[in-house]
Amino acid sequence: MSSNSDSLFFVLSYLKRHPKEIIFATNDYCNVVQIYIHDNFHIADADIYFPANRLMVNKLKEDFLAQHGNLLDYFWEKSGRVLTSYHEVWATTTHLTKRAVYLIELSYE
């Protein structure tokens, strides 16, 4: 089984290469990016890392930020916001079964 960081990296990397799969949600928060993807997308251990109708929140480790900062910056910029500095990123994931989507919410602190 992969870690939550591994799963998140896989999904975000795939979405960067296939941007048409992304549904960005607008929100009123100045530090949050919300990404939806259809739940027919295969994610390893999705039932663990994208629990059905329940939020899973994880602080991304510093080594993840160091190794994959460009990937996180990409999604920030794709949301239409100007990139500002951040020191932490929190990832919230869930499977919204009634909407048939997975949610990835990145909070840049």
User: Model-level pTM?
Assistant: 0.90
* Residue 28 token pair: 């009123």
102 CB contacts (<8 Å, ≥6 apart)? 11, 36, 37, 38, 39, 41, 43, 46, 50, 93, 94, 95, 96
Q: Tens of pLDDT along 21-69?
A: 889 887 888 899 999 999 998 888 899 999 999 999 999 999 999 999 9
The length of the chain is 109
* Predicted pLDDT at 1: 38
